[in-house]
Structure 1
Amino acid sequence: MAQPYEERNSAVKTRRQQEDQRRMAFRRAIEDHDNQRQLTLETADYPDLNAINYWQAAPASGRRSAQPAH
């Protein structure tokens, strides 16, 4: 038996949303990689920075925003 139009339309819409989310996640990953590569290229001329470069030394989960003093 054929599915009602609303059910088919809803399934198609859900599938398209999931595909869009996967595409956007992939696009963000590419942009993040490109940004990291660009930062590495820009700082390559300063070898002293490589030892103390915060972005390379600190894991993403360890980064925190500065808290204002009270």
Structure 2
Amino acid sequence: MSTIVQELYDQVVCTLSPTERLRLATLILNDLVQQNLSIVEQSDTWTEQDQLDVTAFSLQYAATLFPENEEI
């Protein structure tokens, strides 16, 4: 994170109330959407295989937490 951004956050954003912070975040995100910027690198997105892998892992983990012989 750049020093200027960190200073801005520390000196301005941190002084705002939670409601004002959310309003600021909404304004920033809406502005980015309106500009239609492509800021997400394609390499940062999950492939279908990534999604299948995380789903399988999650289900296996849940099975260890909640064995079939226990009531939920």
Q: Same fold (TM over 0.5)?
A: no
Query: What is the TM-score when the length of structure 2 is the normalising length?
Result: 0.32
Q: Which protein is bigger by CA-based radius of gyration? A: 1
Query: What is the TM-score when the length of structure 1 is the normalising length?
Result: 0.33
